[in-house]
Copies of this chain bind each other. A is one copy, B any other.
Amino acid sequence: MSDLQRDVERLHARYVHALDSDQLEAWPEFFTENGRYRITTAENEARGLPLPVLYAEGRAMLNDRIASLRHANIYEPQRYRHMVSAVLVDRESDRLVKSTANFLVVRIMDNGESLLFASGRYVDRITLPDLKYEERVVICDSRRFDTLLAIPL
């Protein structure tokens, strides 16, 4: 039980390293078979609006998402850097953990400049003992947010 914090932090770390290393095809593997991935904004969350910016459920949809990114992204690959901080872990049951964490994503542009691309909170439900995301909700701070061509957050 005392290793739960470390296990969850390691899961988050592996997740962001996969994204930042352009190993996008590994992304669905971090979710359970029916895992849900949702991007929303803090404004929508606060107003109780269920409308997400992006929604995918199940590995097939997650795989589709990556496939269309690969198809659309005919130019130079995008580069991102994810930072994760302040990971709060709370066990909900024998097989479920809730995790809340802050994130910040830097996007590196072609001209060499870096910009703050996104910040917000990950709110996750993680299964035990296999440590997969049953649900990952990405709550972005900004309401102006272009995820059309972006890699997963």
Contacts and interface: CB of A to CB of B under 8 A. Distances in A.
- Copies of this protein chain in the complex: 3
A43 to B, nearest CB: 9
A83 interface: yes
A96 to B, nearest CB: 19
A85 B13 CA distance: 8
B84 A86 contact: yes
Contacts of A35: none
A82 B102 contact: yes
16 contacts: A12-B86, A13-B88, A16-B102, A17-B100, A79-B141, A81-B102, A81-B141, A82-B102, A83-B85, A106-B116, A108-B119, A112-B143, A113-B142, A114-B118, A114-B119, A114-B141
